[in-house]
Structure formats: structure tokens, C-alpha cells
Amino acid sequence: MVATKHLGARLHRFVYGFFRQGDHAEVVHLHGRIDHLLQANGVKTDRQLNDLCARVAGDVGNVLHLPDERRDELRHFTAQLIAYEGMFRLPDVDFGETRTTAQYWELKDELNAQKALLERFPAVEDAITSLVQGCFGALYDNLGKVGADDVGNGINVVTPRIDRIASLGEVVERIAVAAHVEEIEHLGLFPRLRKRLEANFVAASGGDPRDIDGFSRPLRMPSKFDAKTPEDLVVTYLSGTPLLELFAGEEMFTIPQSIRFEHHHIIAGSGHGKTQTLQYLIAKDLDAVASGERSVIVIDSQGDLISNIAGLKAFAPGEPLHDRVCIVDPTDIEWPVSLNLFDVGQARLQSYPLLERERLTNSILELYDFVLGTLLSAEMTQKQSVIFRYVTRLMLHIPDATIHTLRELMEKGSEIRFAEHIARLEGTARHFFETEFPSKEFAQTRQQVLRRLWGILENQTFERMFSHPRSKLDLFAEMNAGKVILINTAKDLLKESGTEIFGRFFIAMIAQAAQERATLPESQRMPTMVYIDEAADYFDRNVGIILSQARKFKIGMVLAHQYLGQLDSKLQDAFSANTAIKFAGGFTGKDARAAAQMVNCDPALIEAQPKGAFAAHVRGMTRAAIPLRFPLGTLEEMPRMSPDEQDALRDKMRANYAVHYSELSRYQSKSEDHEDAGAQGEDSGEDIGEEGGTTPWERAEAAPSANSKTKSNRPHPPGDIEKPDDESAW
């Protein structure tokens, strides 16, 4: 027995390096020493530990320039690290309890570890701060920083934090490295954390996590790990540690208003939630409209989006947006909205300095190429472009000119009928009409345009809207007044060509209003968001010019359509170069691969997005696309107007922006005298709306159509059309 005990003592000395009696007294002494050090360093009580965590959080927050709301998260994470390692803790010891030698040794090891921490407390606190800073620095460098003003004015989307991180593998690597920096290893801090991380890395690399020292192959780093999901990646490398919680929870992703002015491109397959996403974005903008800080324009050819917005209770009499709404609805055929392609605010233009007038006039002529270019089935030839430029310049000199005036100019003998107005032109423009315009060289081009005009004017709804000598909708004034302007381009009523020119007309008016904002001080330019659904129906090679003009003057456009194939390669390049925000979702296969190039991501990310979620790339904020999910049913959940309130709003829109169809016959009757003179090849020189106007309804009745049948150009009463039950925005 003596020999056995002696052997045990020798074995103990071999393992632990010492053996002595009086372990109880030593433990008592160490325990008292730890208690004293805890008190001396101010970490004895829970409140004092919380103060330490708050101090670390404050230091890290200041270095990383994190907002105040992040400090609580920093403090909580610091507390988790300290608890995980059991730092600054005085063991609860019952000194009356009998212990074995082994139990005393374990207790002394624990107390000595606490003693080592507390005797080097300033260095330990610095190391804790360093680890927290390394972890949060890696995290928030990738999440990005958004100013408080942007959070208030931008679009905010709540999304899982882990989805916000594009370079997830690199972030995990940086966090793991932060726990193994020389400062921490030299002090021997966070041994439990470092050992668990090493085991996780060995397991991810195909080794046995229980035999870390026996693993000799190169480690597979997180940035090279092929994980099925982001969650799989962080669990593989960070499980069993408080670092895993860094990726939990949700994050507010903000698209700043300043970036929204650089435009937004959305492509989404059918049924993926594109319209619902637009509704969410619009709903957020309506709050800014109510406070007088923004205007919103919505152009929609299907009608559903317009109907959902127009029926909101907020637009009812007595509600915040009642005096801030304008609805352009072609389906209200009894009261066609009063529009004129050529009523471009000439009276206001004349009040500007000469340089501004010349600049705006040139801009208007350029935009007419965009609007009227749709009259031709393909891109305009040089000859067609020339005739459009000169004809539209002449139209600006013809009082109360309408689309019928344009038709007349394309007819044979128009240079005689409009000789008085041609005489008002100067230089080359006048010479063109006197020599080139009537020549055979331009006869074919005029005939091509004339055929398309007859085809468009055959649509009676379109004809009634654009037969007015004066527009009742001044888009420049409405945009600067902080309005919600809803434009239904009604594709199933106006048909393909009518919808295209109708939509292009308003887009051109928006671009013109943007140019005219140059005459205003920057502080008076009302921020405006323009939403264009099925945008591929309207844009051509001019899109780059229009987007550039809008961006300069606080007008941001959201262009949405179904797939990239709707745009030719040049248009795709124009959209890509001129939009800072890009969303893609609802695609698989080759469509996903094409969209992935647009948003800078793997096609699998796009394919993985459920309805209402998109792979989103924001220039200057995301290195690659991140998933963003938008709630469905935002507008549907908002209060709706009663039928009586809808009727009251409809009557107000009619009074403000429309005329009764019967009013058009007044313009027709006042032009009859001019029709007789025109038949003799003369120009009365009278204006529409005065005695003997210049919009010839009667002559149009006798003019041949594209199919050589007689067509009436008289405004048709709405009784000639069966109004679809589901067309009206009301």
C-alpha cells in the first residue's frame, strides 16, 4: 500500500509538476485574491460587468462609426463572449466541503486562470475590444453604412441579415482570423473559442475535429467552401460559438433616395410579384407626397396597378392626398382627357431668357423624335428624321396645332395651306418647306407617316384625347406641386400602337419637364419618382438621353418589365449604364443566366428567389447581388374609398383635366369655314378657337385611309364604342 501511494504521488508530480500539502489553504488564499482583483478592476458585480461591455461597445462603435442603435448589439455580443469563456467570474466555493486532491487542483487551475486575466486587466480589455472590433468590422464593412437622412427618405426593406452579406465566405474568414491574432494568442485569451473554431475548420476540410493536431492537410477556407445555402456556410464554420449569432436576426436594408434618382431597373417573370413590389415602393413614396416632399408618376398599360392606387382612401375628399392627385384615364370615354402633343407651354417658354428658350426648344424637338418615331414601324431613316425635325419645328409656330394639324401637313398641298405659318420660319427651316418638302424625294416619307396617322386616329378614344387645342394637364406644374399622377395607357383599349405613342407622349413630357427644371433653383425642384410598368413598350435608343436628363433634375425612374429579351442589345446596354438599382427574379435556365449578368450574381441566386423576392444590386452599396424580399398586398391592406367617394374624385378629375366629348364638335364647327378655303388650296390664317380655326374636321371625312376606304375624322361620340366593364380606374 505504501509503495502504491508513493507511485501515485510520483505520477502526480510528473503530470502536474508539483505536489504539496495545504491545498485548502492555497485555494482560500487564491479565492480571496480573485475577489480583491475583481473589485479593484470594477468587474465584480453584474452591473459592473455590464458597464465593461458598454465601454467596449462604445469604443468599437466610435472606431467603426456605427450608429447608436448598434451599440446594444455590440454590448450584448461582448457579454456573450465573456460568458462563453467564463471570464471575470469568482467560483462559488463551499470551504466546509471535503474535497479530493484532484478537485483542489481543478479549483486552483480555474482560480489561477481568473488571476491571470485580472492581473493583466487593461491588456485583456484591449484584447476583448480588438476581437469585438474585428468581428463587427468584418460584418459591417460588408453590410454597408447608410446615413440617417437616407434611412428617413429612402426605401427601407427588412431582410435576413445573412442575406444582406454578398461575400459571406470572406466575412466568416475575417471573423475567424480576428480570434487568432497575435495579441490574443500571446495572452492566451479565448482558448475555448479558438479550439472550437479550429475543430470546425478541420471538420469542414474533411478531418476529424477530435484530432486537430493530427490533421496535416491544407484547410478549406470559407471563401472556397461549396455550401448549399448561406446558413450552411456559417453553421459549418462557426457552430458552437457565440460568433454564429452575428449572422442571426434581420437587417434594415435602405436604398437611399439619392441613389434612387440614378434610376431603377426591374425584370421579373410573369407571376413573380413585380406589380406587388412596385406597389410597396409606391406606398412608401405616398407618405412623402402627403408631407409635400415628393411627386409620384405611375404609367401602367394593364390598369390593375392604377386601379389599386386610385382607389385608396387617402385620395378621398377631406383626406391628405385629395388635392394631390391627377388621374389620366382613357377608359372614361365620355370625358376624354384634354391633351395636345404640341401644346408645350409656349407661353411659359416665352418668359424665359433667350438662351433657355433656345435650349428648351431644341430639347422639345429632340423629344418629338421619341414620341412620333413610333409612327414608323422601324428606326427612322435619315430622311424620315429630317422631315420630322422640320415639321415639328413648324408645328410650334402654328397656333393651337393638334395631331390633325400634323396629319394635314403630311397631305399633298400642305405647303400651300400652311404658307402663312411657314413664312414665320427663318433661314434653313423656311427654305426646306419652300423647296424640299413638296419634292418627290420626300413624298414617300410623308405618305408613310400619313398612313400610320390614319391608323392611330382610327382609334376613336385616342383621337378624342389628342384633338384639343389646349392641354389641361401641365406636367411641369403638376410635378413641382407635389402630386400623384396616375396614367393608364390602357393597352386593351388603345391597342399596341396607341398605347405606345400615348406612353411615349407622357415620358417625353416628363423629360421636357426635367429640362425645364433648369430654370428653377435646385431647392425648388420637387423630387419626383416615375414608375413605368411594362417599360419595354415605350423606350427606344433615346432612353439614355431621357434617363440622363431626369437624373440631373431630381427625377428618378423605375423601369419594370418581364424579361431582358424584350430589349435589343443596345437598349440593354442603355438600361444597364443608366440605372444604379437592378432587381431580377422569377427566372430559370438561360433567362436566369442572362439576368445574372445584369445584377452580378450566380444564376442560382435568382432561381432561388420566391415570389416577391429579388436578387438586387445597388451601385456603390453591394459588391454583388443580395436577396431582398418585399411584402405582398401592401396597397390591398390600406383603406379604400367608398363608391360615393370614388364618384366625387372622378368628377373632380373630369373638371380639372377633361372635357365632355360633345365639346369637340365646337372645334369642328368653328373650322368649317377654313375647310372650304382649304379645299381651294388657300389658308385662312385663322386660329382654332377663334373665328375660322385651323383644325379641319370636315376635310378629314373625305380623306382616304390607308386601306383606300372613306374614314370619318369627326370626333366620335362614346356611344360608338362599347366601353369595357373592367377598364376604368374608377
Distance CA 177, CA 454 (A): 73
Q: What is the pLDDT of residues 188-202, one digit of tens each?
A: 999 999 999 999 999
Q: How open is the CA angle 596-302-278, to the nearest 5 degrees?
A: 50
* CB atoms near residue 527 (< 10 Å): 21
Q: Look at residue 380 in the predicted model and tell me its pLDDT.
A: 66
CA atoms within 13 A on the CB side of 59: 16
Q: Residue type for 417, please?
A: R
| Alpha carbon distances (Å) from 718 to 488, 606, 695, 699, 715 | 18, 47, 21, 22, 9
The per-residue pLDDT for 554 is: 94
pLDDT of amino acid 16: 52
Low-confidence residues in the chain, pLDDT < 70? 1-21, 144-152, 166, 374-380, 665-730
**Count of H helices and E strands in the chain?**
34, 11
**Cα distance between residue 7 and residue 19, in whole Å:** 13
- Cα dihedral 187, 189, 191, 193 sign: negative
Name the CA dihedral angle for 561, 563, 569, 571, rounded to a multiple of 10 degrees.
Answer: 0
Phi, psi of 654 (to 5 degrees): -60, -45
Beta strands at 613-618 and 295-300: parallel, antiparallel or unpaired: unpaired
Residue 88: the pLDDT is 95
So what's the pLDDT on residue 4?
47
What is the rounded distance in angstroms from the CA atom of residue 499 to the CA atom of residue 504?
8
C-alpha to C-alpha distance for 308 and 349, rounded to whole angstroms: 36
- Enter the C-alpha cell of residue 137: 468590422
Q: Residue 213: is it exposed, middle or buried by C-beta count within 10 angstroms (0-12/13-18/19+)? A: exposed
Locate 181 and state its grid cell: 491574432
C-alpha cell at 333: 370615354
> What are the extents of the domains in the chain?
42-87+120-252, 340-458+661-709
Cβ distance 692 to 686 under 8 Å?
Answer: yes
> Which alpha helices (H) appear in 382-439, and where do they start and end?
382-395, 403-410, 414-417, 419-422, 427-435
Contacts of 685 (CB under 8 A, 6+ apart): 420
Which residues contact residue 502 at a Cβ distance below 8 angstroms, ignoring those fewer than 6 apart? 330, 462, 465, 489, 490, 494
H or E element, residue 152: helix 148-153
Which phi and psi angles does 559 have, rounded to 5°? -105, 115
Give the pLDDT confidence score for residue 11 in this predicted structure.
55
In sequence order, what are the beta bridge partners of 266? 560, 583
pLDDT of residue 194: 96
